[in-house]
Structure 1
Amino acid sequence: MSNQTWTIKRILDWTRGYLERKGDEHPRLSAEWLLSNVTGLSRVQVYTNFDKPLAPSELDAMHDVVVRRGRGEPLQYVTGEMPFRHIVLHCERGVLIPRPETEVLVDAALEGVGAAPLSFPAILGEAPGPAERARPSDQDDSPEGEGPGEKAAEPEEPPVLVGPGCRVLEVGTGTGCIALSIASERPGTRVVATDLSPQAVALATRNRDALGLGHAVAVVEGDLASAVDPELMGTFSVLVSNPPYIPSAVVPTLPQEVIGYEPGLALDGGEDGLDVFRRILELAPQALAPGGMLCCELFEDNVGAAAELVHAQGGWASAEVREDLTHRPRVLVAIRAMG
């Protein structure tokens, strides 16, 4: 058997069987994903190239990723990427893997973006304003272009402008999946994404730059909104977060694929799973503009209690719980009163 040629079909079938024996819940999908990652073929191309033999380097790479997946390492960490809504994100160990149910959270945030007023003339950070950038220096009367022996100036990175559109604050951005989905699906929206983890901030920044969204998304390191420009507080139309929300007693019961690889900091929400949510709720009145939206993804057993905390705080026009793709209560959506 070792003398036979390892074609796409043969390695696909062998990998599916191997992962099935290792307990993979979706062995065929995993095999397709791993093979696509190693060969550079799309999943459709995998099925139209069954007779194509793998190069020795591809076989070596396939062996490595199949062993890692067989040990239970999440596919997203093995391949280093995953699709989320309409974008593809880089993933790495130490940063929470986006989940399909988080797409419902993005849907809710996009509703808040759509309902926002279109009047926010300001700039994030310290970049000069549009008029200032467009005006030549009073001391600069040289002709356009570089002179003899002069080196052209490096182009400045465009500032993150807040023009027509709205401002969104995301707390705990992780890979950046929420912030980057909002910015890519609603051009003109400006997002400030924060995270306490330096690794998450670095990864979200790389994802932002790979998607060409540096003009729309600012990623900052800090606890909740501690690193956000104070002048922006009270101007956000949406505050969105997928905070740690698993009750501490439930964390050890999660699948080994989760607790064995993903960061506990992004999972454990304290005794009732609402420790971080309570802090976000305290932040919301300071961050949101009147009529702004708070939307959070939470645990199915504590999202109702979170809604009660919103009502008890006061100052909210409404608070509702929405179901995820599996019809479990998952997302809290609350609207600040206008007054």
Structure 2
Amino acid sequence: MAEQVWTVRAALDWTRGFLGERGDEHPRRSAEWLLSAATGLSRVELYAYHDRPLSPEERAMLREGVKRRAAGEPLQYVTGEVAFRHLVVKVRLGVLIPRPETEVVTQAALDAVVDVPAPLIADVCTGSGCIALALAQEHEGAEVFATDISAVCVETAAGNAERLGLAERVRVLEGDLLAPLPGELRGRFDVVISNPPYIPSADLPDLPAEVAGFEPHLALDGGADGLDVFRRLLAEARSWLAPGGLLVVELDESRVKAAAQEAQEWYEQVRVNGDLTGRDRFVTARLPRSTL
């Protein structure tokens, strides 16, 4: 008997059914992304070339991806990439997966420098580099410094910058929060933006299994009340922001109001901002132009 020919359509249908039976909440999306990664076809092309047979190498890659996804590994780690604003960035284990909510946080930074020809921006806890890279791509005059304490994240973010042709304007530095920044830039940044660890430590076990079991706790654990890193950012950013500069920090929705209250001690125009679903998502605060 001749061996069954696996076409794109057959592989897509089988993968969708297999993952659906194993609890994948979005089996069609997962099937499309896995097959796209295996074949190099876009998700639209999967349907345009539905009768194209898969090569043995493509079938092997798809099988491995399906195995990992069925075991609960996040789709973004399996495919190795995720869409963020107008970019596609590479991710891997040890790097926080960018979320759609963070796209709104990024927009706040862009809005703040829309009339600044050559803004200087720091992206702290950069992870994949998604925020820094989006800022540089969408503001052609921006110079961005991206920092992370994780060597894996620094390597990933730097690789993304090179691949996207943004390495000349996005410098990726390894170190804790703002410490790696060049000292001569102290007091000159127009924006300091961060998606820091902000999950209260006691809440980590209650996170979805895909998050708790795979994403780096270093990028999630915000201490007892989720604000440990935020408080350090509040203090450190004061010496790096220019007068009138903007601090933008993503936080857990249950902690945003408390964070804003703490920011009022040193900053002005402190605001709680919502995401696209209307949930409190991030704090913006400006360094006073004068301390008088």
Q: TM-score, normalised by structure 1?
A: 0.84
1:59 is aligned to: 59
Matched, 1:317 2:230: no
Report the 3-state secondary structure (helix = DSSP H, G, I; strand = E; otherwise coil) of the residue aligned with 1:65: helix
CA contact (8 A) 1:220 1:227 kept: yes
CA contact (8 A) 2:178 2:237 kept: no
Matched, 1:10 2:10: yes
1:83 is aligned to: 83
Larger radius of gyration: 1
2:120 is aligned to: 167
| In 2: Cα distance, 1:2 partner to 1:69 partner | 30
1:156-203 Cα distance to aligned partner (Å, 9 max, x none): xxxxxxxxx010011111000000000010001000111101111111
1:19 is aligned to: 19
1:67-116 Cα distance to aligned partner (Å, 9 max, x none): 10000111111111111111111111011111110001100111122254
Aligned with residue 257 of structure 1, among 210, 215, 221: 210
Displacement, 1:317? Answer: 2.5
Displacement, 1:326? Answer: 2.1
Aligned with residue 332 of structure 1, among 271, 283, 291: 283
| In 1: Cα distance, 2:149 partner to 2:61 partner | 34
CA contact (8 A) 1:74 1:257 kept: yes
| In 2: Cα distance, 1:19 partner to 1:198 partner | 33
Displacement, 1:4? Answer: 2.7
1:195-244 Cα distance to aligned partner (Å, 9 max, x none): 10111111100000001112111111111111111110110000000000
- The structure-2 alpha-carbon separation of the partners of 1:108 and 1:2, relative to structure 1 and needing over 3 Å to count, comes to farther
Runs of 4+ in 1 over 4 A off after TM superposition: none
**Amino acid in the other structure paired with 1:113:** V
1:27-46 Cα distance to aligned partner (Å, 9 max, x none): 00000000011000001100
1:289-308 Cα distance to aligned partner (Å, 9 max, x none): 01110001100000110000
**Amino acid in the other structure paired with 2:272:** V
Over the matched positions of the two proteins, sequence identity in percent amounts to 53
2:190 is aligned to: 237
Matches of residues 225-304 of structure 1 in structure 2 within 5 Å? 225-304=178-257
2:134 is aligned to: 181
Of the structure 1 ranges 214-223 and 299-308, higher mean CA displacement relative to structure 2 is found in 214-223
Matches of residues 103-118 of structure 1 in structure 2 within 5 Å? 103-116=103-116, 118=117
**Amino acid in the other structure paired with 1:218:** R
Report the 3-state secondary structure (helix = DSSP H, G, I; strand = E; otherwise coil) of the residue aligned with 2:141: coil
1:155 is aligned to: none
CA contact (8 A) 1:104 1:331 kept: no
Aligned with residue 219 of structure 1, among 168, 172, 180: 172
Gap regions ≥5 residues in structure 2: none
1:263-315 Cα distance to aligned partner (Å, 9 max, x none): 0000010111000000000012101101110001100000110000011x23x
CA contact (8 A) 1:169 1:238 kept: yes
| In 1: Cα distance, 2:3 partner to 2:21 partner | 24
Of the structure 1 ranges 290-299 and 47-56, higher mean CA displacement relative to structure 2 is found in 47-56
Q: CA RMSD in A?
A: 1.3
Gap regions ≥5 residues in structure 1: 119-164
Q: TM-score, normalised by structure 2?
A: 0.97
Matches of residues 190-201 of structure 1 in structure 2 within 5 Å? 190-201=143-154
**Between Structure 1 and Structure 2, how many residues are aligned?**
290
2:74 is aligned to: 74
2:42 is aligned to: 42
CA contact (8 A) 1:290 1:336 kept: yes
Displacement, 1:325? Answer: 2.2
CA contact (8 A) 1:246 1:273 kept: yes
Of the structure 1 ranges 321-330 and 62-71, higher mean CA displacement relative to structure 2 is found in 321-330
| In 1: Cα distance, 2:142 partner to 2:288 partner | 22
Displacement, 1:249? Answer: 1.1
| In 1: Cα distance, 2:189 partner to 2:50 partner | 51
| In 2: Cα distance, 1:254 partner to 1:22 partner | 20
1:91-149 Cα distance to aligned partner (Å, 9 max, x none): 11011111110001100111122254x4xxxxxxxxxxxxxxxxxxxxxxxxxxxxxxx
Report the 3-state secondary structure (helix = DSSP H, G, I; strand = E; otherwise coil) of the residue aligned with 2:201: coil
